[in-house]
Amino acid sequence: MNMSLRIPRSIQAKLRVIAILLSLGMVVGAAIAEFVLSRTRAVTELVVNQTAALSLLQAADMSHEGLRSVAYESLLVGQIAQVNADDVRKGVREHAQFMRDAMARLATSDIDADLRAELLVGRASVDRYLDIAQELISAALVDRSAAQARLPQFNAAFDELEDVFHRQIVALRGHNQRAVDHAAEVKTRADLVVVATALIGFVLTAALVGWTGRSIRNSLRKVEAVASAVAGGDIGRRAEIEIDDEIGRLGCAVNAMADKLQHMLAHALDDSERHRFGRELDAALEMADSEPDAYRVVQRAMAAVSPDRAMELLVSDSSQAMLQRATEHPSAGAPGCTVDSPYYCQAVRGGNSVTFNDSEALSACPRLRGRPGSEGAISAVCVPLHFMGRALGVLHSVGPAHRAMQPHQLAQLAAIGAQAAARIGVVRAFERTQLQAATDAATGLANRRALEAAVRELMRKKQPFALLMADLDRFKMLNDTYGHLVGDDALRLFADAMKKAVRDHDIVARWGGEEFAIVLCGSDAQEGCHWADRARTGLAQALENGKVPKFTVSFGVADSTMAERLDDLLRIADEALYRSKEHGRDRATLGSALAANEPMTRQGSEHEEKIDVTRLGAAV
């Protein structure tokens, strides 16, 4: 785009003609003006000089008030953080210098001598006021109490100078008004001469402007066409600028406006893309019902942020003491951060995202240097994951040194960190709630409702299992003899022994009181009896430490082949448990499918004794 100062010939020729005609008119007008100005120049100069003197005196008056403000501010140094000594000293210097310069200029003003002498009467008051003000401010910066003692003297000097300025301003305004009135009289007479000249000049100028206006209208239409196109949405349209005159500058302004609109549109599109990414990420995470589901969504989001930057999500365990990799970039892989605790991660500890442009920089995270597989220095971004004040982990990404991620990529990483943390936190909270609802508080085992749900699911899928009902022998006697706290310890010891005896996919639940239920998946009743014998042996070994008085347990065993309904299967196992009690306790008895249709025959056995669950829960 050529922006030289050369003017095209067509416009130059028209301007030359206008210049010649105007020059002739100016020669004539100059002769007339000289005649008029010779009569008005002296009066006008006097008015101008007196007006300037009035403005200077008013400015000095304002500066003397400003100096008072600075003096009072000096008393606040050390009291208010916004007021500091350097600003006060600077203000003192500026106001003092201005007032002295003003008085010096008034001394040399080209005004009436008597009026100038009257204005200089207050110079001594100015010097005295400045000296007192500077002493007060210097004292305030050292000893505030001493400065406060000088305030009455300072205020008196201020009032004295204010009265002097007021009198002088009033006097100067009077002189000035009289000079203005005289100048108006002279001007009125001169206007009669000037009007005639102005009429001639107006006619000539109107003709020249009309002629010139038609010549530049075509250029303006070109700029207008570009502006209309840009306003209509064609923001790529630009004006062809060839000259640096008013039209050329207007064209440049239109082009600058189009550039700005194009930039704003690109920025708006970036914002829209970020919002779209955030909405899609939120929708995807909303459908994640577990932590692995959420990690898969984060992995796909990593690929959307950048296809070639290594990324990983490190998540803390339930204790918040350890960080482990939950997922990584599907194609670029994981950066391999060695941090293993939230406390040792700067981003998690500080609660804000951190960016490192060069791993070799002195202020870079030391865990970025010397990573296996990295060639030379790297850059990194770490986004912390927090949920309701708890640290959940960190989203870590690396790339080549000094090649920072784009702003929209950083915004996307921040969105992943915030929304993933929220979803993971909600999922964990829900899982804790589910676990608490299905867990016996005293023993940490599954409760009756959880076991029933699990057994019904096994029966629905027609998967074989063995069901054992267990009851601690003479538990009421143990409670009565040693107290409920010892009884609670016995329940917990038995629960721990059973958990150690089963496999990971088996279920141990507290049925109620001192009664327990065990489900051995994929086993039958015979295998259940053998398991019960091993469990009784394991219990006896656990009691050898002497922390809990020795006790035994009786089992009743059934399996899924004996009944099609859970209630019937429970009746079979319970009946077998009753027979174990009748035949001496501390044994396992195999149930019979016939017991499902027989009424219960227990009468007054210890099997009916139930522990006080309310008191047990309170003790725990």
Q: Are residues 468 and 593 in the same domain?
A: yes
* Same domain, residue pair 164 and 48: yes
Catalytic (active site) residue 452: no
Mean pLDDT, the chain, integer: 80
Q: Is residue 300 part of a domain?
A: yes
Indicate if 41 and 66 belong to the same structural domain: yes
pLDDT recorded at residue 340: 81
610 pLDDT more than 60: no
* Average pLDDT value for residue range 378-403: 87
Residue 281 in any domain: the answer is no
Residues 374 and 489 in one domain: no
Give the pLDDT score at 5.
Answer: 41
Residue 469 burial by Cβ neighbours in a 10 Å radius (0-12, 13-18, 19+)? buried
Q: The domain spanning residue 410 has which CATH number?
A: 3.30.450.40
Residue 318 placed within a domain: yes
Residue 346 and residue 200 share a domain = no
Least confident of 207-216, 451-460, 584-593: 207-216
pLDDT band at 617 (very low <50, low <70, confident <90, very high): very low
Query: Do 432 and 454 belong together in one domain?
Result: no
Q: Are residues 522 and 588 in the same domain?
A: yes
Domain termination residue (choose one: 208, 225, 242)? 225
Of 394, 389, 391, 390, the C-alpha closest to 380 is 394
- pLDDT band (50, 70, 90) for residue 7: very low
Q: Are residues 457 and 358 in the same domain?
A: no
Q: Which CATH number goes with the domain that contains 28? A: 1.20.120.1730
Per-residue pLDDT band for 613 (boundaries 50, 70, 90) equals: very low
Report if residue 177 sits inside a domain: yes
Give the three-state DSSP class for 190.
helix
Residue 284 placed within a domain: no
Last residue of a domain, one of 436, 466, 485: 436
**Residue 93 belongs to what domain range?**
9-225
> Does residue 276 lie in a domain region?
no
CATH of the domain at 478: 3.30.70.270
Does residue 495 lie within any of the structural domains?
Answer: yes
Residue 3 inside a domain? The answer is no
pLDDT greater than 50 at residue 224: yes
pLDDT value for 268:
60
Cα–Cα distance between 345 and 395 in angstroms, integer?
Answer: 11
pLDDT at 45: 76
Identify the active-site residue in 328, 514, 515, 575.
Answer: 514
Residue 492: which of 503, 484, 480 has the closest Cα?
Answer: 484
* Domains identified in the chain, total number: 3
Percent of the chain with pLDDT over 70: 82
Please tell me whether residues 84 and 204 are part of one structural domain.
Answer: yes
Average pLDDT over every residue of 303-312: 90
As a whole number of angstroms, the distance between CA 560 and CA 554 comes to 20
Same domain, 475 and 429: no
Beta strands 553-559; 588-590: pairing state: parallel
Q: Are residues 322 and 456 in the same domain?
A: no
Model confidence at 14, pLDDT cuts 50, 70, 90, reads low
The pLDDT of 513-541, averaged and rounded, is 93
The pLDDT assigned to 409 comes to: 86
For residues 70 and 90, state if they share a domain. yes
Q: Quick one: pLDDT band at residue 607, thresholds 50, 70, 90?
A: very low
Out of 225, 244, 278, a domain closes at 225
CA within 13 Å, CB half, 86: 2
The answer to whether the beta carbons of residues 223 and 239 sit under 8 Å apart is yes
- Would you say residue 578 has pLDDT above 70? yes
Mean pLDDT of 298-305: 91
**For range 376-384, the mean pLDDT:** 89
Percentage, residues of the chain above pLDDT 90: 20
Residue 458: per-residue pLDDT:
92
- What pLDDT is recorded for position 57? 77
